[in-house]
Structure 1
């Protein structure tokens, strides 16, 4: 005789890259992270084993792709493979920061499209669904052959900016032409005019660009400079200084992912920006905190989206009033 089908069970798993964020998400979901044994062998190989049965569960595997980024990615792939082989019913990979997202197209001949390779790797490992925050370009969603929940940090960031700077004359500024659509959404949310920085970049020199001129009305305004990530800080600091030279009253930088590779911290804290606002999609060591920096938690968004996926609800409704 067949037994009654048990209700589905949510299980949340975390790699070692950003356990603080995973614990915050688990607390908001009123659950606990599944105990996991993880370690690296002397030659760098990674071992993972879950300390509880995962058969038939709805598994959510959270891992931010922080430095050393290849170790973080490999650990998450191994976790997905372990879940697949242990008969998890559905595996959702949560990527607060999607590694290799900047390599989404070929600029020169004989280059890889590494963002596509990432999606293929998770498919091969056994992932059924991806959840990520503020992709470098939205079309990366199409690289994964399955559902992708592309979450937006904009509501969290705009809520903070509106509360602190909403009484001022604002302008929303894109650091380059490629981010104008995102900046336009910000401008609509804040009811502010839109501007952008015209810049040039040599595809043969990573992390280097030159801000040429400001296009738009920024004089006398508090400029909200928006981007998806800050890596070495060169591009964003050049944009800050270009805005100040164009007569901006103040500049506030708002970005989702604080990659903060050296020398980003020194550049940012010595820049003319009034404040740098980021989220905690990536872990920040104590030496990367400074007076101008404000870190907002992305955990409530991840927890709400996870609950919606688990309950077969709408993720889109999280971004509509």
Structure 2
């Protein structure tokens, strides 16, 4: 059975269709004080239950609703519970950067481990260190080949260069660039740990004049880093600029601000339902789930 959580209704339905299994309706009621109530009106006894719920903003509410669904499945006698969390919130809080900080990703992992979760599926988690906190088998799928094939088939690229807005995305842009057979570069970003202020160095290691640019990142949050990168690339006389990411965390108003910078296109996966979610993850997730279910 597939149980699409309130944050991932359409993706959950698509996964159920791909797997050709029963779809279970999950009802959500939100009270005036912000509390959530989940209702699952189905016999889950001895069933293998796949819960699909992305934990984008409001992150805390979506996580708690995920745990509510996991708890109900377990207490109802489900044979197995497999959470699919396309966007794993709190993965950026994978260590203590300053004295006194809570490592929230460790807490999240312990909550899932408390329910005896054996398998969990996520997509392009921000930090591989975050995976180390789980005792269960965490499958971290990558959507980068999907994004690259979309670019090849739909964007009519000219002398393309794949750009990461920071050094942390080097492996990501290299994989993407290898697939579309283009060069890549990483911009140099620094962040003040106390204030959160971001700066990107203007000098680039590659001449991008006249080249189509694909700015690739795992997530767009406020959009500030991407807008700084766009400004620098335009100063270097780049051609069209296409922004691609796995997880579009930004709300629609922030995405519109990004579009107003004059970019050619803005593209993400449907790990988070947004207006730019043009790449469907359901086939890849379903293929991996089929392997897990066959064990």
The secondary structure found in structure 1 opposite 2:186 is strand
Which residue in 1 is equivalent to 2:62? 72
Counterpart selection for 1:300 from 283, 289, 294: 283
In structure 1, distance between residues paired with 2:177 and 2:27? 46
The Cα shift of 1:94 comes to 0.5
Residue 198 of structure 2 corresponds to which residue in structure 1? 209
Structure 2 portions without partners, runs of 5+: none
1:247 to 232, 237, 255: 237
Equivalences for residues 275-314 of structure 1 within 5 A: 275-284=265-274, 289=275, 293=276, 295-312=278-295
Structure 1 pair 248–109 and aligned structure 2 pair: CA distance change class (3 A): same
Q: Displacement of 1:262 after TM fit?
A: 7.0
Is residue 24–residue 42 contact of structure 2 (8 Å, CA) maintained in 1?
yes
Q: Does the 8 Å contact 1:237/1:267 carry over to 2?
A: no
> 1:36, 1:265 → 2: CA distance?
29
**Pair 1:228 & 2:218 matched:** yes
TM-score normalised to the size of structure 2? 0.92
Shift in Å at residue 102 of structure 1? 1.4
**What is the DSSP-based 3-state SS (H/G/I as helix, E as strand, rest coil) of the residue aligned with 2:187?**
strand
Using the alignment, how far apart are the partners of 1:51 and 1:92 within structure 2? Answer: 19
1:108 is matched with: 98
Please give the residue correspondences for 1:53-64 in structure 2 after superposition, counting only pairs within 5 Å.
53-64=43-54
1:135 aligns with 2:125: yes
Counterparts of 1:121 and 1:259, CA distance in 2: 23
DSSP 3-state at the match of 2:247:
strand
Q: For residues 27 and 212 of structure 1, do their structure 2 counterparts lie closer, same or farther at Cα, with a shift above 3 Å needed?
A: same
Find the residue that maps to 1:92 and give its secondary structure.
strand
Q: 1:104-161: CA deviations, max 9, x gaps?
A: 2222111111122211111113322110001112232211101011011112111111
CA RMSD of superposed structures (Å): 1.9
TM-score of the superposed pair, with normalisation by structure 1? 0.85
Alignment of 1:1-321 (within 5 A): 11-165=1-155, 168-206=158-196, 208-213=197-202, 214-261=204-251, 264-284=254-274, 289=275, 293=276, 295-312=278-295
Flag the 1:248–1:270 CA change in 2: closer, same or farther, 3 A.
same
Listed one character per residue, the Cα deviations across residues 182-227 of structure 1 (whole Å, up to 9, x for unaligned) are 1111121122112111122112234x41222223332221111110
Aligned length: 294
Matches of 2:238 and 2:277, distance apart in 1: 21
Deviations 1:161-199 (A, max 9, x none): 111346521111111011111111112112211211112
Mark the CA change 1:38 to 1:262 in structure 2 (over 3 Å): closer, same or farther.
closer
Using a 3 Å threshold, how does the CA distance of structure 1 residues 220 and 41 change in structure 2: closer, same or farther? Answer: closer
Moved more, 224-233 or 197-206: 197-206
The answer (yes or no) to whether the contact 1:197–1:211 under 8 Å persists in 2 is yes
Distance between the aligned counterparts of 2:206 and 2:107, measured in 1? 38
CA distance in 2, matches of 1:264, 1:167: 26
Distance of 2:281 and 2:118 partners within structure 1: 23
Superposed displacement of residue 41, structure 1: 4.6
